[in-house]
Amino acid sequence: MVPAPSEERPPTRRERRKGETRRAIAGTARRLFAERGFEAVTVAEIAAMADVSTKTVFNHFPVKEQIFFEADPLGWPAPELALRERAAGERPVDAIRRVMARTSPDAGRGTGDAGDAADAADAGTVAVHARIYRDSPALRSYSREMFAGQEHALREAIESGAGADGLGAGGPGAGGGLGAGVVAALVLAAVREVWESTLLRIAAGAAFEDAADLGRRELDAALDLLSRDPSGRDPLRDLPDRDPLDRDLPGQEPRDLARGGPRKVPPAGAARPPADEPAQGARQARQAREAREAREGQGAEGRAGAGGGEAGAAGLDVRGPVRGDRPSITRVAQLAGVSATTVSHALNGRRPVADETRRRVLAAIDQLGYRPNVLARGLRTSRSQTIGLIIPDITNPFYPALARGLQDVLGPAGYDEIISNTDGDRELERAAIEQMIARQVDGLAFAVFHTHAEDLLPVIGAGIPVVRLGGRLVQAGVDVVHSDDEGGAAEATRYLLERGYRRIGFVCGPHAEGPAAERVAGYRSALLAAGADADPRLVAHTHFSRAGGSSGTARLLDLPEPPDAVLCANDIMAIGALDTAEERGLRVPADLAVMGFDDIEAASLVSPGLTTMANPAREIGQACARRLLERLRGGTAQPSAETVIPARLVRRRSA
């Protein structure tokens, strides 16, 4: 729980200065993003404009995308905190609804510093923020990663009992239902969809208040659906008769937002309708909608501008999300003057459609705001149109670049990514694989260090194409795409030897499995071939992080015969090695040479610039995606295949 104000410790002078620096960096970055767009701005430019070092920027924001989300005008949703900190007697769904509780930009953020709230306080700033997000594929991809990263905490909150009742999750007395992991995924998917659609409405010109109000209504509708478990039981039977967001005009009957008509409030003590009544109501709503569509015919154009005023011009239905009025493929077909089948072909590209016909279909889709029903299409085609990506560390810039490479290929093919972070733990890797199977992904890519062949048998048995990012080709049914880890490490070691370094240390992961094992093998083979010292004590096993690189390097420097050069398994660890050298007063490379692997953006920004082996993450992601699409389309009969992307030496000043 959040401590009472009297219990909070006042910030120290150091903490205040760090907070001021963080706000200055974020404010500078937002101005640059607004002027030039997110992708065009580099971390070095942000550092120069904020009058700080690039190292300081990376200390506060390891990934550039984090700077953008530092002051999200909607308030960054955290459903698991809402569950853990909800008041006594407050229903879980009501607690989660509070993540969208803002009604105007003047209200400030729900959490964070006052300075951040002030920056986000005017509607013009909010609109600029929304347009930056809309125009950046990198930010949209990262937002999916951020929401996916909350899944573990939300699942734990549900499993702990903090939010099982009222979310459709099984538990004591819950009468069965969906598992906590599935519920967490569904809740976060609903929250993210509403959050993003609200930002996109603002970017299109809608007023903040109108967009936020419609977003809350959409979230209400989604959570109401999720709160019903598959048995028909309604865990939210204590819903209040009136919804505080349902603002009816005087003299009107309360509206049922789920069905678009007057809401019938049963008298106190009345028996609940039978479990199949919602389905009956849905059938009635569908029949009424079909009849209305038949009467409207080609008059659907009129509804697109319904509502009048600015909200109508922005395509905003201020009545809220009336589920029966959701634009259907039938209405698109009527407006375009074609069949529903032709609309489907125009969308999926599987059959040829005349250019003029396609233009009419796209114009109708744009006018009605139609969105294909992905869930229904998945049931019909047995495809979820999603690809799972399992990675060990989302804060390592290598992996967002890899994910971007996958999206470069998967996006145009109609697929989305689901990303799971495992911290390099084998049990978490196995759990992530099980979650991907449960989510019915169409394909799986994973960059992991400890997964063994038997761990992949369930996903192979489920008929899901698998691509492993790194390691050796070990089993049928698993393709491999990776950089030349062994050859790259051997080339790096030879480079250090040619520069005159004779006692070369290697800082790698906990057990040197997967790609790290290949790099250790290349390092040792190059030493042996040159007749150099291959002392096993010169290999330091640590964590794949900046702190791990720092501690591993310190351990090597404490040896009776310390190394004169250190090769690290990735650039983040190499930056940690630079930290240790600086702390000990060592000059790089005069006293200690430092070399990395990957060539992330930070490698060229630290001082001295990091000599490294370029491991083209985005290119690896693209190759992985192409391999998965080839499997999904039945383009190869090989039981498995291996694709190797060459590594490249990048010379800078650290070695």
Confidence at residue 75, expressed as pLDDT on a 0 to 100 scale: 61
**If residue 540 lies in a helix (H) or strand (E), which one and from where to where?**
strand 539-541
Q: Global pTM? A: 0.45
Burial 224-263 (b: 16+ CB within 10 A, else e): bebbbbeeebbbbeeeeeebebeeeeeeeeebbbbbbbeb
Q: Which residue has tokens 């989660």?
A: 96
Contact predicate 479/637, CB 8 Å: no
pLDDT digits (tens, 9 = 90+) for 260-302: 333 333 343 344 344 343 344 444 444 444 444 444 443 333 3
pLDDT value, residue 98 = 65
**Cα distance between residue 10 and residue 172, in whole Å:** 42
pLDDT of residue 610: 96
Q: Are 187 and 79 in contact (CB under 8 A)?
A: yes
Residue 591 has what pLDDT? 95
Q: DSSP for 189-225, please give it.
A: HHHHHHHHHHHHHHHTT--HHHHHHHHHHHHHHHHHH
Integer Cα distance of 23 and 20 in angstroms: 5
What pLDDT is attached to residue 110? Answer: 38
The token duo for 61 is 């924001």
Neighbours of 25 (CB within 10 A): 24
H-state helical runs in 3-122: 13-36, 43-50, 54-60, 64-68, 79-84, 92-97, 114-119
Instruction: Report residues of the chain scoring pLDDT below 70.
Output: 1-9, 73-78, 89, 91-93, 97-121, 160-179, 225-326, 348-350, 371-383, 449, 472-474, 511-514, 635, 637
Query: Do you find a cis peptide bond into 79, omega within 30 degrees of 0?
Result: no
pLDDT confidence of residue 426: 82
Residue 99's pLDDT is 56
Q: What is the CA radius of gyration of the chain?
A: 28
Count of other CB atoms within 10 angstroms of residue 294:
10
Q: What is the pLDDT of residue 242?
A: 31
d(CA 78, CA 458): 32
List of residues 6+ apart from 533 with CB closer than 8 A: 502, 503, 504, 527
Cross-strand partners of 549: none
